[in-house]
Amino acid sequence: MRISGPQPAATAVTRAGEDASFLQARLACLSVATVCFAAAAGLEGQKLGSPLVAALPGVVSAGALAYRARPVLALSPPMTLDGDVEIREAPGKGEGLFASRRIKEGEFIMDYLGEEMSADELNDRYSDNLLNARYALELTGPLGLNPSYIDAVDKSRSNLGRYFNHCSRPTVRKVRQRFPDRRLRFFAARDIAPGEELTWDYGESYWIGRENELVE
């Protein structure tokens, strides 16, 4: 029995379901703050006779959005069971994913694949207990609005990413791609020796309600 799984939708879906308005309010506040900052900078720019000062907030905002929307490039094919990785028992965790060869830091491991669904659909699936959404990960766009989720609970509709276990000293890091399409991509966080387990840190929120399952 697998006692660990990806960062849960339990917390994420609750945020999406209950706090969608909060996210929109946060974005609105940021927009208002940016407008106010731009207005203040514009006035100051007029005083100083400097149009560059007035344009600065817009440039900074556009740059931040562009950074969040940047594609995350995978420079190699996803790893497979054919010489790259293998599935075997991980002590105290159930099945896990292990390196079959030396993996270099920064090397692309794979995307996290499964059924993509809305927060409402995921809430309906796990209406009995959101803590059962062990294989669900959140996807968001550049502005963090309208989150969707990837649920890899069904082996036939997912990939090897569902076998990543948790570790507070991870060998793998997760990177969100928000544009042009939403993806969760995993890369080697350091050099990984053959036989080492591929793990990532699920984060503190995953263990809320699962404290008795915490490993490493």
DSSP state of 48: H
More confident residue, 162 or 139: 162
Residue 179: predicted pLDDT: 73
d(CA 43, CA 38): 9
At 133 the pLDDT is 93
Give the C-alpha separation, 99 to 68, whole Å. 31
Question: What pLDDT is recorded for position 204?
Answer: 85
Between residues 108 and 215, the one the model is more confident about: 108
Q: How far apart are CA 99 and CA 87, in angstroms?
A: 9
Does the pTM of the predicted model rise above 0.75? no
Mean pLDDT of 133-145: 80
Summarize the confidence of residues 20-25 as an average pLDDT.
Answer: 42
Mean pLDDT of 18-28: 43
- Among residues of the chain, what percentage have pLDDT more than 90? 47
* Total residue count of the chain as it appears in this document: 216
pLDDT of residue 9: 42
Query: What are the pLDDT digits (tens) for 57-104?
Result: 555 555 554 455 556 677 789 999 999 999 999 998 999 999 999 999
Measured distance between the N- and C-terminal CA atoms of the chain, rounded to whole angstroms: 17
- Decide: helix, strand or coil at residue 140: coil
Q: Provide the percentage of residues in the chain whose pLDDT is more than 70.
A: 64
Q: What pLDDT score was predicted for residue 60?
A: 54
For residue 75, what are its two tokens? 């420079």
Residue 184: its pLDDT value, please?
93
Res 11: pLDDT: 40
Res 203 pLDDT > 60: yes
By the 10 Å C-beta count (0-12 exposed, 13-18 middle, 19+ buried), 169 is classed as exposed
pLDDT of residue 78: 95
Q: Phi/psi at 88 (nearest 5 deg)?
A: -155, 175
Antiparallel, parallel or unpaired: β 115-118 and 148-151: antiparallel
Mean pLDDT, the chain, as a whole number?
77
